[in-house]
Amino acid sequence: MYVIHSQSATSGYSAAAPLALPDNKWAIDGTAFVYKSQWYFVWSGWVGDSNGEQTLFIARMSSPTQVTGARYVISQPREWWEKVDVNPPTRVNEGPEPIIDPNGQLHIMYSANGSWDVNYCLADLRLWAGGDPTYVWDWFKANGCFFSANGGIMMSGWHPTLYAKGVGHHSFVLLNGDPNTSPPAGPTFPLAYHGVPKADNPNPFWGGRYWYSGTFQWWGNITYTRGSESNTGWSLKFYE
């Protein structure tokens, strides 16, 4: 990961410099954000030195450009709906994006499965109220995808896309990109994501991918389960 910085949003940026991450392993898709007055950095990477699977990590920051302390695993692709790619077998959690729901709970929306096939999708991690973002067991994972062309891997009550496939790696449109400006419940708000027109067949996916605009809104009273444990709160719905 690299960082550029400036005192102005429109000019004067520094050259790109490495962002020193704990353990110095392969890393992509990093995002810095503030939650309860503490800076954090969340990204996708490898636990070790080989491409076995892509894990979501989080670390504390002492400033917007300085990571401090250890890295902590918050999600690994271990659910059945995150492991449906077979050619090649793919184990991916990537593209983490923070957003804060109307109850003040932190969510990390991320992409699962391979970005080169129809199983690519958006899914959710919800931090329980009062939880520690660096403690994996304070996070509850949705029980399926929220945005995908494959209806078979969707969470109950969510529906597959109609016009695009391979959808994922999104960006919420938030004021100043700050999750503390996350929108209220009710209306829909802008979303960007990439995908491939569903009618394209065959399609090279990466070579035929487009940016799409869509919308999202909060969806209330949704329960995520983990073994005998459960957590109920806000979730998200996405629209093409």
Q: What is the pLDDT of residues 182-197, one digit of tens each?
A: 999 999 999 999 999 9
Among the four given CATH numbers 3.30.230.80, 3.30.450.20, 1.10.3720.10, 2.115.10.20, the one describing domain 26-239: 2.115.10.20
Cα separations in angstroms, 108 against 6, 56, 94, 170 = 26, 10, 11, 12
User: What gap in Å lies between CA 123 and CA 143, rounded to an integer?
Assistant: 9
- Whether residue 81 contacts residue 91, with contact meaning beta carbons closer than 8 Å, is answered with no
Question: Which pLDDT does position 59 carry in this prediction?
Answer: 98
Question: Which pLDDT does position 203 carry in this prediction?
Answer: 80
Question: Which pLDDT does position 202 carry in this prediction?
Answer: 79
**DSSP secondary structure, 36-68, as one string:** TTEEEEEEEE-SSSS-S-BEEEEEEEEETTEEE
Question: Which pLDDT does position 204 carry in this prediction?
Answer: 82
User: What gap in Å lies between CA 30 and CA 11, rounded to an integer?
Assistant: 22
Question: Which pLDDT does position 112 carry in this prediction?
Answer: 98
Question: Which pLDDT does position 84 carry in this prediction?
Answer: 94
Residues with pLDDT less than 50, the chain:
none
Query: For residue 82, with 0-12 CB atoms within 10 Å meaning exposed, 13-18 middle and 19 or more buried, which class applies?
Result: buried
Question: Which pLDDT does position 79 carry in this prediction?
Answer: 97
- Whether residue 39 contacts residue 63, with contact meaning beta carbons closer than 8 Å, is answered with yes
Find, among 47, 237, 44, the residue nearest to 142 by Cα.
Answer: 237
Write out the two tokens for 217: 């809104």
User: What gap in Å lies between CA 111 and CA 190, rounded to an integer?
Assistant: 18
User: What gap in Å lies between CA 59 and CA 79, rounded to an integer?
Assistant: 23
